[in-house]
Amino acid sequence: MIKVWSDGIASGLLDRGRDPLSGRGSVFAYLHDATPHRAVSVTMPVRLQSWDTALGLAPIFEMNLPEGALRERLRLRFAKAAGSFDDFDLLSIVGRSQLGRLRYSGTEDRLDESVPFQSVDEVLYSRGGIELFRSLMDKFATDSGISGVQPKVLIRDEKAYADSDERLSQTFRGATHIVKFWNPDEFPQLAANEYFCLQVARRCGLDLPTYRLAEDGSALVIDRFDLHADGTYCGFEDFCVLNARRTDEKYRGSYETSIMKRFQQFSNSQHVFADMEKLFTLIALNCALRNGDAHLKNFAILYDDVLGEARLAPVYDVITTTAYLPKDGMALTMDGSTHWPTAKKLRAFGEMRIMGAPKKIGQILERIADALSDTADLLRMHARENPAFASVGARMLEEWETGRQQSLGS
């Protein structure tokens, strides 16, 4: 059994399913004294009746479970001792250090989310490459409650506690940064790919966390955007959670309903129209960048109070996937298709979903086109100075031009 904490206070207990025959589900029950503000998700309000899940964990508990290389590393380390290794086991290992406001512990344990120190500067300037990645995986694997197939870990930067009003308190012990690496045999130069895609997003006026590319291009370091300066956390819920879908269903749904409509349902904010415009901009940007991995887990909401207003989370996990997979299509459907949309279809989507005037939608697409042009110059410069990136960079530029002409009409 696992104790679930929200905002540092115990809110309920999570256990494996009650069905002795299948044993594949799980059940969560709030503690008798849990207040409405202790709800674990906007989709799971506090109630006397338990929340039962027929298969695996409820989406909010599954949301941050590691995938890919990190999950395999943990499986190899713990499966023998545990005798098995399912999502429940994985959550019990990485649950004390997560994105968002939820934490997990043993039923008799106190909450301890301490993460070892690690210099961000070492990651950015060491030129350690694959050896540094292996070292960080060994050091931070059990502290990295973060989803995604791309190799990544959560670390605690030793400089995040400097004597400054904008810095964290010396008593804070949680993770401060996300470090993302790439496998040279699968997606070479993925960190630089994402870095330049984020540059485009920033030039479009979208909200982003602070991000930096390692000097040798081996890693991308991102400041946590769910962490307040006082050491408390924002609520963070991706669109798998909002659509009541498991991680393995992240490619199921449409941008019309599973993203735009769902956001309107849960935003509960006076800024909903501004955020809807940003959400449309992000979807259009993904089309122009040819990001075929803009699935349900790569959009999210943030909030300070589970009962209060929710805002669109900053942009994350944006890459040009067609630089590696030339035939890649959209992760979700638009107008019933995963084919990259024409400018006409994208304009119609914007006019319908954010009730935007044709002129306004045209300005958004023009802003994306300008951001692509400005960032392309920086990308070319980086490719000249870093020959290892030249091939991937050239393919990215080709895909951006195709996306501009087909999806932006410019």
User: How far is the C-alpha of 90 from the C-alpha of 149, rounded, in Å?
Assistant: 15
At 317, list the tokens. Answer: 């996990």
| Fold held by 235-408 | 1.10.1070
pLDDT at 162: 52
pLDDT at 222: 95
End-to-end CA distance of the chain: 56
Q: What number is the average pLDDT over the span 260-276?
A: 93
- Highest mean pLDDT: which of 6-20, 47-61, 171-185? 47-61
User: How far is the C-alpha of 352 from the C-alpha of 7, rounded, in Å?
Assistant: 38
Is 116 strand, coil or helix?
coil
pLDDT at 164: 46
C-alpha dihedral, 169 to 171 to 177 to 181, nearest 10°: 150
Q: What number is the average pLDDT over the span 108-128?
A: 87
pLDDT bracket for residue 168 (50, 70, 90): low
Position 134 pLDDT exceeds 90: no
Mean pLDDT taken over the chain: 91
User: How far is the C-alpha of 222 from the C-alpha of 226, rounded, in Å?
Assistant: 11
pLDDT at 158: 75
Q: What number is the average pLDDT over the span 251-260?
A: 97
pLDDT at 1: 93
Task: Determine how β-strand 2-6 pairs with β-strand 102-106.
Answer: antiparallel
- What is the per-residue pLDDT across 361-376, written as a single tens digit (0 to 9) for each? 999 999 999 999 999 9
Q: What number is the average pLDDT over the span 170-198?
A: 89
